Structure 1
Amino acid sequence: MFLSIAIPCHNEAGNLDLLLDEIVAAMSGRDYEILVIDDGSTDNTADIIRARAKTLASLRFLQHDKAAGQSAALRTAAFAARGKILLTRDGDGQNDPAYLPQLADALTAAGESYGIAAGQRLKRTDTRLKQLSSRFANGLRRAILKDDTRDTGCGLKAIYTELFRRLPFFNGWHRYLPALVLREGYHVTHIDVVDRSRRHGQSKYGIFDRAAAGILDLIGVWWLRRRCKRVPEVQEISLDK
């Protein structure tokens, strides 16, 4: 099965070279493409991508003219992807690429009624304050959305590309993919992944700005799920006599 790997990047020049090497090693024997989405970087991220493309045939370069955020970058990848399954991961190197083939296998093994395989982080490397705030946010989300996912903030996911394209888009949707997939009538499967520390650069998210946006997003996703109406399957009946 042909797979697409999406890597949203904003000023991740220090992490990208090693990350691409790790992906190539992890995906050995698989048929895949790598889509790097440069989300308005102001460092030399674009130069690194162009240099690697000379020797890495599977690499594709998508560039935003200005920073639009991780959700927009993943949407760009979803509509450009050629693979049946889209594998997502963050560009900061914290998500270990070794789990990418495991996610693809978990999704296909789960069966046709499953739409996404989501990674759930163990041994978090964030500060204690970030861990506590994340635990509270995840608990609140699970209580309201009933998405049965312990950790939606993990960037490692495998989702069918056509399904991803159908999901309602909004800024922050990448944190609610399990709930949005459930809304479409599919199930969610999970695998545990081990978190790593960021090698270079700084996190693009703070605790309080994420919390403020997260409350509005949570209300919005709850409303979307409540207002969802199943689209019936349509069969044309032959009128030949």
Structure 2
Amino acid sequence: MDYRFTIIVPVYNEEDNLQRVEKELASYLKIASVSTSILFVNDGSQDNSQALIEDICNRHEAFEYITFKENRGLSAAIKAGFDFAETALVGYIDSDLQTTPEDFNSLLEHIDSYDLVTGVRSERKDSFVKNMSSKIANGIRRAFTHDGMDDTGCPLKVIKTDYAKRIPMFRGLHRFLPAMIMLQNGKVLQVPVRHFPRLAGTAKFGLWNRLLGPLMDCFAYLWMKKKYINYDVCKSSK
């Protein structure tokens, strides 16, 4: 089957969530507004996630996986998904399912006119500390990037794959995907999406890496912005 959209699902020690992930994504494929496949990226999980992922992929034709030899982090998992995707559109969702794949249809409504459509979590169901640290981190990022984005940490995005593959990823860059699309002169849109409490597993980010990490990554982004190469070919013999 020819798919148009690949959903990347980064996984790190999420054995307690994967049964729900299978159910939710399989249900979404029945109502997806474009033909869609699923790509699990197992980021070196040390629990039973790999065995569960293989079982899921054996049950569903549209599900595939890649597995890292060791844990490399969320940005690496997303980058690997971009590299392996062969569809015109690519997106991702966290395996904690605090967002719903159903909302991909809301993002896909706009992707023909934009190069990245990102969700903005409304009425977030996180703790006060997590919400405040995210607001501070987003404020720091906006001050450096001027990207105008309210919630770059939202794990629900759709990107045109040719733009995604040109992003020079580094650790922490998942927070800067809209800014990196803008560096390519791409157009970005925010769309409200639903948010839910985590029902299983544990969060992989704490207060320290929600604040210090984004601040350090901002300096890396500024360096990259200064050195970034962008060009448009106006004529070719091919």
Deviations 1:117-168 (A, max 9, x none): 0001111122111111111111222222111110000010000112111011
Q: After the TM superposition, which residues 1-241 of structure 1 pair with which residues of structure 2 at under 5 Å, given as runs?
A: 2-29=4-31, 30-108=34-112, 111=113, 114-236=114-236
Could you tell me whether the CA contact under 8 Å between 1:27 and 1:101 is conserved in 2? no
Distance 1:19 1:27 in 2: 12
Distance 1:232 1:85 in 2: 21
Distance 1:132 1:210 in 2: 10
Distance 1:26 1:236 in 2: 42
Distance 2:121 2:144 in 1: 21
Aligned residues: 234
Structure 2 unaligned regions, length at least 5: none
Could you tell me whether the CA contact under 8 Å between 1:89 and 1:155 is conserved in 2? yes
Could you tell me whether the CA contact under 8 Å between 2:7 and 2:38 is conserved in 1? yes
Give 1:175's aligned amino acid: R
What is the SS of the residue equivalent to 2:59?
coil
Structure 1 unaligned regions, length at least 5: none
Tell me which stretches of 4 or more aligned residues in structure 1 moved more than 4 Å: none
Q: For residues 48 and 229 of structure 1, do their structure 2 counterparts lie closer, same or farther at Cα, with a shift above 3 Å needed?
A: closer
Could you tell me whether the CA contact under 8 Å between 2:134 and 2:210 is conserved in 1? no
Q: For residues 237 and 65 of structure 1, do their structure 2 counterparts lie closer, same or farther at Cα, with a shift above 3 Å needed?
A: closer
Distance 2:147 2:173 in 1: 14
Instruction: Tell me which moved more, 28-37 or 3-12.
Output: 28-37
What is the SS of the residue equivalent to 1:118?
strand
Per-residue deviation, 1:27: 2.7
Give 1:5's aligned amino acid: I
Deviations 1:154-201 (A, max 9, x none): 010000112111011100111110001000101101110121111111
Distance 1:80 1:27 in 2: 20
Per-residue deviation, 1:229: 4.5
Give 2:199's aligned amino acid: R
Could you tell me whether the CA contact under 8 Å between 1:26 and 1:100 is conserved in 2? no
Distance 2:78 2:139 in 1: 25
Q: For residues 7 and 237 of structure 1, do their structure 2 counterparts lie closer, same or farther at Cα, with a shift above 3 Å needed?
A: closer
Distance 1:208 1:22 in 2: 31
Distance 1:57 1:233 in 2: 39
Taking structure 2 as the reference length, what is the TM-score of the superposition?
0.93
Per-residue deviation, 1:9: 0.2
Greater C-alpha radius of gyration:
1
Distance 2:83 2:111 in 1: 20
Could you tell me whether the CA contact under 8 Å between 1:152 and 1:178 is conserved in 2? yes
The percent of aligned pairs where both chains have the same amino acid is: 28
RMSD: 1.7
